[in-house]
Structure formats: structure tokens, C-alpha cells
């Protein structure tokens, strides 16, 4: 049996996942981070993207979209605190495309710089969702 590490995915509302895994790939701020058992300790911000979770029972990775957050890695654990987390299989292309269209219209109508910045950030996350499909 391969070495495993504990993986936890936490959203602001609740613990979404807690299991032993062989490997997790996290979309870190400076590139993807592959976490295996006995990984060196680190903390990283997480960019919008897909976490790939390789369990012990299946060769196929479970894929979860995260909108950003933080990851803490220790030699025996990887914890991701995600702003938003959705299984990639639950994402709907037409809804996401409509959301991008609506956000771009909102951006055109926005007058305050802070409002524009917030909408632009939402567009980036929504485009990352679309890329994840």
C-alpha cells in the first residue's frame, strides 16, 4: 500500500472533505503544488482553479473547483481553506457562460472603482470555473 497523507477541504460553512489520499494537487499562487506523504511544511495562497485528489481506491482523480483560499501542508496533512468549493462535475457550462455575460454587463454599468474591482475579481473566478470544465 502506498503512503498516504490526510487531506481536508474546508469552506467557510463547513468541512467538505476529510480523507487519507495518496496525492493532492493544489493550484498554488505560484504554480501547482503536488502534495505527497512527508511533504515539507509550507503555507501558500490558493488561486482559482481545480484541486485534484488522488485517493487510495481509484486511479482517477476527484476534481474540485476552488475560488481561492489558503493551503497548509505538513509532513502528514494537507488542509485547504477555500473561499468556495464545488465538484467540477456539478459545474454547468451554460450557467457559467451566462454569469460571465451578466458580470461583463455589470462591469460596464459600474461607476465606482471599488465596485469595478470587485466585479473584475468575480469575472476572474467565473472564467476559472469555465476553464475547469
Say which CATH number the domain at 65 has.
Answer: 2.60.15.10
Q: Are 34 and 72 within one domain?
A: yes
Q: Give the pLDDT confidence score for residue 56 in this predicted structure.
A: 66
Q: Are 19 and 75 within one domain?
A: yes
Neighbours of 106 (CB within 10 A): 15
Q: Are 25 and 69 within one domain?
A: yes
Q: Are 39 and 97 within one domain?
A: no
Judged against a pLDDT cut of 80, whether residue 58 lies above it is answered with no
Q: Are 83 and 98 within one domain?
A: no
Q: Are 60 and 111 within one domain?
A: no
Q: Are 97 and 71 within one domain?
A: no
Q: Are 19 and 51 within one domain?
A: yes
Answer yes or no: are the C-beta atoms of 64 and 86 closer than 8 Å. yes
Q: Write down the pTM of the prediction.
A: 0.88
What is the rounded distance in angstroms from the CA atom of residue 128 to the CA atom of residue 133?
9
Q: Are 104 and 120 within one domain?
A: yes
The pLDDT tens digits for 90-117 are: 999 999 999 999 999 999 999 999 999 9
Which parts of 33-112 fold into alpha helices (H)?
93-109
Which parts of the chain fold into alpha helices (H)?
93-109, 113-132
Judged against a pLDDT cut of 80, whether residue 57 lies above it is answered with no
Q: Are 46 and 63 within one domain?
A: yes
Q: Give the pLDDT confidence score for residue 4 in this predicted structure.
A: 92
Q: Are 16 and 69 within one domain?
A: yes
Q: Are 67 and 122 within one domain?
A: no
Task: Choose one of 88, 104, 120: the last residue of a domain.
Answer: 88
What is the rounded distance in angstroms from the CA atom of residue 71 to the CA atom of residue 78?
7
Q: What is the mean pLDDT of residues 23-29?
A: 95
Q: What is the mean pLDDT of residues 9-26?
A: 93
What is the rounded distance in angstroms from the CA atom of residue 118 to the CA atom of residue 41?
33
The long-range contacts involving 96-101, CB below 8 angstroms and separated by at least 24 positions, are 96/126, 96/129, 96/130, 96/133, 97/130, 99/126, 100/126, 100/127, 100/130
Residue 117 domain boundaries: 92-132
Strands 5-10 and 77-82 turn out to be parallel
Counting the structural domains of the chain, the total is: 2
Amino acid at each position: 500500500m502506498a503512503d498516504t497523507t490526510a487531506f481536508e477541504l474546508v469552506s467557510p460553512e463547513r468541512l467538505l472533505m476529510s480523507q487519507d489520499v495518496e496525492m493532492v494537487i493544489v493550484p498554488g499562487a505560484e504554480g501547482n503544488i503536488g502534495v505527497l506523504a512527508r511533504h515539507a511544511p509550507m503555507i501558500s495562497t490558493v488561486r482559482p482553479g481545480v484541486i485534484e485528489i488522488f485517493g487510495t481506491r481509484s486511479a482517477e482523480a476527484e476534481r474540485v473547483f476552488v475560488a481561492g483560499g489558503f493551503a497548509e501542508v505538513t509532513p502528514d496533512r494537507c488542509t485547504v481553506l477555500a473561499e468556495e468549493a464545488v465538484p467540477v462535475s456539478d459545474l454547468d457550462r451554460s450557467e457559467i457562460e451566462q454569469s460571465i455575460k451578466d458580470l461583463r454587463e455589470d462591469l460596464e454599468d459600474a461607476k465606482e472603482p471599488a465596485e469595478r474591482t470587485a466585479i473584475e475579481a468575480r469575472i476572474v473566478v467565473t472564467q476559472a470555473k469555465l476553464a475547469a470544465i
